[in-house]
């Protein structure tokens, strides 16, 4: 009897541990389910020999929500990106990290919003340090070869913020974003070495705090063309193993060069292309030409992937770092670059932070989908980590939107948050249909709050702050809770 009882207890123990092990594996399968699904095309045929897809993230500079044909643009031709949207997924509620360059890119790389990120403004003296873990580091740790080609903006020469100390195996481009204002620079940087270019450059100022003012009197080497060539070479060289390419063009950013004798040239592009005969201001011809040029360069990259036979192994995500600009004589309203949304670059209204995003992955992402899922730059890091099969980042404000890419049930944000320390100081938050904007934080007695219902009022015309005091108080609590003090980017506590 005792022997039988002992056997019975042993069986129960074995069953108990089998159940525990089964639950653990089931939990693992659920969390890894999306990644596992990536290994099968829609026909059920394996197309990833090593189980890790290549990842390309392309970032435009100051491209507005309405600057692409697939987002309603009528004048500027973008056939490559329009086709990628038609054959992939186009997001209508994707948000940049900030309404300006450097902090937006910091959110992208670190997965933190501007209430917590290290770089919260365009000050070139603030950079990432050894405590920051970038998306590139996450991917490098799981076997990816990583490259950044183009504009960085998160650390200058001799600092801890350079790409080589932030997870990138290879870098070619501009480190400091103010130098990137010149499309025909005197040098670019490859890893830690300056590469001189055959352009003649003169300066109005070399003071980064004032913005490096430079212009090229002899333009021979166009940086954007170099970026494409470097990208094509990197893809071909690394086509047999998983790679991550962060391709950050400076198009169509105004170059902000100070005016010289050839001032009538307007925006700096090789030429005005198909827009040369248009009866538009030169700045608008230049903007349109740069956007179409960007579209053609992306076509070259797609063709390279197809030629190498790795296009189905590669996901391409395209977006922009913030809304459209009105710099360098450009007029963001000329082409309706904000897509009918209020505001532009440096605004926390929708036109300043809502940006296009297209995800293209033939055979994995079903074509023709338009998603209204609310996502932001800090979601990119956990999304790409999951695609790569890496451990989910623990220090992030982001949520992976991979389920949305695959047509599965998608988790939603409780809220999105931004802060901006220019123009008197600003904060904004979105929760559900509501958006709160707080302005003039650094002007005691003049600080004002605006509340909008984006579902009923997507263009933010009707401030309903007086009608919904309970909503206002709830949203104000988000502004307080999401901000962590930073000596370089203060938010006046008395104005919270």
Output the six-digit token pair for 471: 């909503």
CATH of residue 454:
3.30.1120.10
Q: Look at the chain and report how many structural domains it folds into.
A: 2
Same domain membership, residue 349 and residue 437? no
Phi-psi region of 7 (alpha: psi -120 to 50; beta: other; left: phi over 0): alpha
Same domain membership, residue 174 and residue 62? yes
Query: Is residue 25 included in any domain, yes or no?
Result: no
CA-based Rg of the chain, rounded to a whole angstrom?
24
Main-chain phi, psi angles of 56, to 5 degrees: -125, 125
CB-CB neighbours of 387 under 10 Å: 23
Q: By three-state DSSP, how is residue 209 classified?
A: helix
- pTM of this structure: 0.90
- Asked whether the bond before 258 is cis by omega within 30 degrees of 0, the reply is no
CATH of residue 227:
3.40.720.10
- The strand ranges marked E within 219-333 are 243-248, 314-320
Give pLDDT < 70 ranges for the chain.
1-50, 208-211, 255-270, 492-496
**Per-residue confidence (pLDDT) for residue 458, from 0 to 100:** 98
Q: Which residues are registered as beta bridge partners of 190?
A: 172, 193
**Per-residue confidence (pLDDT) for residue 437, from 0 to 100:** 98
Query: Is residue 5 included in any domain, yes or no?
Result: no
Same domain membership, residue 207 and residue 130? yes
Of 115, 112, 116, 109, residue with least CA distance to 166: 109
Query: Is residue 437 included in any domain, yes or no?
Result: yes
Output the six-digit token pair for 164: 């080589």
Same domain membership, residue 362 and residue 344? yes
Same domain membership, residue 170 and residue 79? yes
DSSP string, 139-197: HHTTT-EEEEEEE--S--TTSTTSGGGTT-SEEEEESSTTGGG-SS-SEEEETTEEEE-
Look at residues 380, 413, 446 and tell me which one is the last residue of a structural domain: 413
CA distance 377 to 87: 22
Same domain membership, residue 432 and residue 318? no
Same domain membership, residue 277 and residue 173? yes
Main-chain phi, psi angles of 237, to 5 degrees: -65, -30
Same domain membership, residue 120 and residue 181? yes
Q: By three-state DSSP, how is residue 360 classified?
A: strand
Query: Is residue 21 included in any domain, yes or no?
Result: no
Main-chain phi, psi angles of 58, to 5 degrees: -105, 125
Query: Is residue 11 included in any domain, yes or no?
Result: no
Same domain membership, residue 177 and residue 66? yes
pLDDT in tens, 155-212: 999 999 999 999 999 999 999 888 898 899 999 999 999 999 999 888 877 776 666 7
Q: By three-state DSSP, how is residue 201 classified?
A: strand
Look at residues 413, 433, 453 and tell me which one is the last residue of a structural domain: 413
Look at residues 371, 398, 413 and tell me which one is the last residue of a structural domain: 413
Query: Is residue 10 included in any domain, yes or no?
Result: no
Same domain membership, residue 196 and residue 126? yes
Query: Is residue 87 included in any domain, yes or no?
Result: yes
Q: Which residues are registered as beta bridge partners of 319?
A: 59, 357
Q: Give the residue carrying structure tokens 């922009």.
A: 320
Same domain membership, residue 398 and residue 451? no
Question: Cα–Cα distances in Å, from 9 out to 1, 12, 18, 22?
Answer: 12, 5, 14, 20
Query: Is residue 332 included in any domain, yes or no?
Result: yes
- Domain residues for the domain of 179 are 54-413
**Per-residue confidence (pLDDT) for residue 271, from 0 to 100:** 81
Output the six-digit token pair for 455: 């579902």
Same domain membership, residue 377 and residue 424? no
């Amino acid at each position: 009897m005792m022997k039988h009882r002992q056997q019975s207890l042993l069986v129960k123990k074995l069953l108990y541990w089998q159940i525990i092990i089964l639950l653990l594996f089931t939990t693992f399968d659920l969390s890894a389910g999306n990644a596992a699904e990536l290994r099968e095309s829609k026909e059920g045929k394996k197309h990833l020999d090593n189980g890790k897809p290549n990842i390309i993230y392309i970032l435009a500079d100051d491209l507005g929500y309405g600057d692409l044909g697939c987002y309603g643009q009528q004048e500027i031709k973008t056939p490559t990106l329009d086709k990628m949207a038609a054959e992939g997924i186009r997001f209508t509620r994707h948000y940049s990290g900030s309404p300006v360059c450097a902090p937006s890119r910091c959110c992208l790389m670190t997965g933190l919003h501007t209430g917590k990120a290290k770089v919260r403004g365009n000050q070139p003296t603030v950079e990432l340090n050894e405590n920051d873990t970038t998306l590139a580091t996450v991917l490098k740790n799981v076997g990816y070869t990583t490259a950044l080609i183009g504009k960085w903006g998160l650390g200058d020469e001799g600092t801890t913020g350079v790409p080589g100390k932030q997870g990138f195996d290879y870098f070619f481009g501009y480190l400091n974003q103010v130098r990137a204002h010149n499309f025909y620079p005197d040098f670019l940087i490859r890893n830690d070495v300056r590469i001189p270019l055959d352009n003649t450059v003169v300066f109005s100022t070399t003071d980064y705090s004032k913005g490096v003012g430079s212009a090229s009197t002899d333009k021979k080497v166009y940086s954007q063309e170099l970026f494409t060539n470097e990208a094509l070479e990197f893809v071909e060289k690394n086509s047999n193993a998983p790679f991550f390419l962060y391709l950050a063009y400076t198009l169509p950013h105004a170059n902000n060069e100070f005016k010289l004798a050839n001032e009538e040239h307007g925006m700096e592009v090789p030429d005005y292309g198909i827009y040369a005969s248009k009866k538009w201001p030169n700045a608008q011809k230049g903007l349109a030409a740069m956007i179409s040029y960007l579209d053609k360069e992306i076509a070259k990259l797609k063709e390279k992937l197809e030629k190498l036979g790795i296009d189905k192994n590669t996901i391409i995500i395209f977006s922009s770092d913030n809304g459209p600009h009105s710099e360098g004589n450009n007029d963001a309203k000329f082409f309706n670059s904000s897509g009918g949304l209020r505001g532009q670059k440096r605004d926390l209204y929708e036109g300043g932070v809502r940006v296009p995003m297209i995800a293209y992955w033939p055979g994995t992402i079903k074509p023709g989908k338009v998603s209204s899922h609310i996502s932001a730059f800090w979601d990119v890091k956990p999304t790409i980590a999951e695609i790569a099969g890496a451990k989910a980042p623990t220090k992030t404000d982001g949520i992976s939107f991979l389920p949305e890419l695959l047509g599965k049930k998608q988790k939603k944000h409780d809220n999105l948050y931004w802060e901006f320390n220019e123009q008197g100081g600003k904060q904004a938050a979105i929760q559900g249909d509501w958006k709160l904007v707080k302005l003039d934080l650094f002007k005691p007695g003049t600080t004002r709050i605006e509340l909008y219902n984006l579902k009923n009022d997507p263009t933010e015309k009707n401030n309903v702050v007086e009608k919904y005091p309970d909503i206002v108080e709830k949203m104000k609590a988000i502004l307080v809770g999401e901000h962590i003090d930073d000596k370089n980017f203060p938010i006046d506590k008395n104005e919270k």
